[in-house]
Amino acid sequence: MIRPEDYTYHLPEERIAQYPLPERDSSKLLVYNKGEIQHAVFKDLADFLPSNAILFFNDTRVIHARLLFARPTGAQIEVFLLSPEAPHREMHRMMNTTASCVWRCAIGNLKRWKSNPLIVKTKNLELQALLVNRETGTVELRWTPTQFTLAEVLHQLGKTPLPPYIKRNARKLDESRYQTVYSRHEGAVAAPTAGLHFTNRVFDSLAQKGIEHDFLTLHVSAGTFQPIKTADALQHVMHEEQIVVSRRNLETLLRPGKLIVAVGTTSLRTLESLYWYGFKLLRQPQADFRITQYEPQQAAPAMPAPAEALHALLSKMDREKTDSLTGHTSLYIYPGYRFALCHGLITNFHLPGSTLMLLVAAFTGNDWKKIYQEALANNYRFLSYGDSSLLIP
């Protein structure tokens, strides 16, 4: 049993950052290295990484997932896109869809949505939302002109999906600042916030030291904010997210003598999911790329070496004559988890008692308490627009 209350701390409301700092890389950086803690500024990150480090970034791009519709009565209904259903479930294909599509959504003020459709429009675009299934929150979107892609529709009519603990409406600055400078593949409804601190200046300083990096993709879902409501955290149902990895990712991971550092919990969960998929392929070469939260609990007493698991993924790519794999993961990392691939983690400071807090506790052991006490005592800013940490157990 894991009690969520054992992984909580007091987070004063005023410590939750409501706005980003004027400069991304001017945030504070808490460095935890083998039990020792130092305080720095994020622009100096390279000073605290060995030259053999390889950083893995999540290059997902946040979509304008909040759609606001006004009823003739004056009631406002929010349709928040969660996961694509049709005509495609792969995010990159869905974003290029034209004319119509179906999503599973979170719907605000659902009781006021008595009849179809809801409509919002600009001078050159009209979007309709039709409620397909009230219980599951399934919504069909239709728009004209039909040649617009969904990505273009959302960019014009949607709003930036700020986290629920940011107590303000999204503003123009959030369109760029709630997005990493290297974001590329549209599909996330929440930012991979560890990456928000990186600037070209930071990338240049890393390159000058010979520190390499690579990009993979996990489309962050709103489930990342879902609180643990069960008395035993092990009974919590994890959300599922779509991941895309490349042949280059695997070849980079297989290079010997490298310190693998995940930039963000999403990158870490993606990397660890690769190991578990390799484990599945070694037992069943035709296994689907779907990692459940229970995968580690089903592990054999003798687990394969990381290289063996990664080679199993490369073999699958060879068989299928492809250089990328798309899958889904619900991997749940909590204290007791044995990390297969990741040696370091760059991450912000997380909500008390959350699944992300459990992940940090799994990575740093009981020292998570010391890390968070230090951050609170030194006036760090918390959560998505807050400060950062470099954790090397």
pLDDT per residue as tens digits for the range 78-118: 999 999 999 999 998 999 999 999 999 999 999 999 888 99
Instruction: Assign domain 4-62+178-392 to its CATH superfamily.
Output: QueA-like (3.40.1780.10)
d(CA 43, CA 41): 6
What is the per-residue pLDDT for 68? 95
pLDDT(306) > 90: yes
Q: Is the CB of residue 384 less than 8 Å from the CB of residue 193?
A: yes
pLDDT at 116: 80
137-179: pLDDT as tens digits: 999 999 999 999 999 999 999 999 999 999 999 999 999 999 9
Q: Are 99 and 145 in contact (CB under 8 A)?
A: no
pLDDT of residue 235: 95
Q: Nearest-CA neighbor of 37 among 371, 304, 388, 284?
A: 371
What are the start and end residues of each CATH 2.40.10 domain in the chain? 66-159
What is the pLDDT at residue 114?
Answer: 85
Give the residue, 298 or 331, on which the prediction is more confident.
331
Tokens 């999906």 correspond to what residue?
161
Report how far Cα 322 is from the mean position of its chain's Cα atoms. Answer: 25
Q: What's the pLDDT at 247?
A: 98
Is the pLDDT assigned to residue 376 strictly greater than 90? yes
The reported pLDDT for the residue numbered 299 is: 77
pLDDT at 218: 96
Q: What is the pLDDT of residue 115?
A: 80
pLDDT of residue 74: 78
Among 2.60.40, 1.10.10, 1.10.357, 2.40.10, name the CATH number for the domain at 66-159.
Answer: 2.40.10
Phi then psi for residue 225, to 5 deg, are: -95, 0
- Residues carrying CATH 3.40.1780.10, the chain: 4-62+178-392
Q: What share of the chain is helix, strand, coil (3-state, %, to 5)?
A: 30, 30, 40
Q: Cα separation of 84 and 351, whole Å?
A: 27
